[in-house]
Chains A and B, each alone.
Chain A
């Protein structure tokens, strides 16, 4: 189990850039809220690496 992505709401600028790299289709931008589908997320960390403002991390 690699863990799941969690969003730091204080940092997220809701640009949706991370959604564009998620191979599992686990992220979505609903209006201005970045949502993570815990069922789909496999904790690959691509979105964590991409995020320009370090708003994402993997929680074990």
Chain B
């Protein structure tokens, strides 16, 4: 049974929400997590890749129950099929089983005292004198209200809670990808230890097709297409089906075991992540890597940061926007400049035509690509001066 009052209500039991709930609960705060789905973690809206450093940075030791496949590198394919490969002898990351991973994170929070409700849709916040002080929700068709001192909106791209509190979390079609994915079995992969990434105007306009292996002949095969270019006849699903049909060498024996769809915020994080009595984390706050659309680790880090600030604010009895904004300051210090650089890099990449992508294969090494994904792009200008003067003006325009 749930109580009428909690210190903290977390809306959404994804990685951001459950990490936040764990921090609140282990500091002795009475914490309730509301999850609208009847099963935490399913259906996934994710390609499930995570970098090993990020995972360990969060204090999580990879567990084969949810870190189901080791990744040692990546191959990037230009439209012609030419490729750039980066491969290490070491494990660089994992492909997760999200439904196991998210449940694992929920178990961790529950074991520290958090209460969870599933099949429970939060419909809005309760306000008193402009301050958030509760959540309205529906469980099994029955409406109820919970009072609380602090709300954490971890409710994903379809976030309603932050919006009802007055924050703008709407995505622009210029900074939002339309995603479609099959989890498939029966694939013939040239190398199941690496991520396979395919670029090209006809393959995925301003986006890419990914194959993220999950072990054996299984992988997540998906595409992201920039929202403003998505339209009838050229939707994400059309591009992925076209890609699969054009590559029988990989897909001739493959069938889907899941369909996943979703929106992927790839622009800046939201302008304001706090209100009186409320903090926004994860996809709801657009805390996603703009260059590859990955957001699991960022969401968990945001959940942890927000909760650490929330714990202090609650102890001080001050959950005003002003007090909670320390979370935004810490977020910007930790991730702001890197994400801004990655956004610049994405804007540059979006201007490249197929012939430029081919040229990039000549000019860059696999190690260069690794540096780019970390937001290090200063070396590009010098490289282009010597080897790709045609791309130089674009690079100067977007990257300096």
Q: Which residues of A contact B (CB under 8 A)?
A: 13-23, 25, 27-32, 46, 49-54
Contact = CB atoms under 8 A, between A and B. Distances in A.
Interface in B224-255: 225, 227-228, 230-232, 235-237
Interface in B11-55: 36-38, 43, 45
A20 B157 CA distance: 5
B171 interface: yes
21 contacts: A15-B261, A16-B156, A16-B158, A16-B263, A17-B157, A17-B263, A25-B163, A27-B158, A29-B121, A30-B121, A31-B121, A49-B228, A49-B231, A50-B173, A50-B227, A51-B230, A52-B230, A52-B235, A53-B235, A53-B237, A54-B237
A20 B45 contact: no
Interface in B45-67: 45
B392 interface: no
Contacts of B235: 51-54
Contacts of B73: none
Contacts of B227: 21, 49-50
B119 interface: yes
Interface stretch (B175-183, B184-192, B308-316, B331-339): B175-183
B178 A17 contact: yes
Contact of A52 (B156, B157, B180): B180
Contacts of A23: 170
Contacts of A49: 173, 227-228, 230-231
B179 A52 contact: yes
Given A13-B261, A15-B260, A31 B178 contact: no
A13 B43 CA distance: 9
A31 to B, nearest CB: 5
A26 B173 CA distance: 17
Contact of B178 (A19, A27, A32, A51): A51
B304 interface: no
Secondary structure dominating the interface of A = loop
Interface residues of B, number: 39
B112 to A, nearest CB: 27
B347 to A, nearest CB: 19
B232 A21 contact: no
Nearest to B232: A54
B344 interface: no
A53 B239 CA distance: 11
Contacts of A16: 45, 156-158, 262-263
B265 interface: yes
B237 A21 contact: no
Please give me the 7 A-B residue pairs with the lowest Cβ-Cβ distance, nearest first.
A17-B263, A16-B158, A19-B158, A20-B157, A52-B236, A15-B261, A52-B180
A23 B170 CA distance: 6
A52 B260 CA distance: 10
Contacts of B171: 20-21
A52 to B, nearest CB: 4
B214 interface: no
Contact of B262 (A17, A28, A46): A17
B178 A52 contact: yes
Nearest to A48: B232
A17 B259 CA distance: 14
Interface in B254-291: 259-263, 265
B325 interface: no
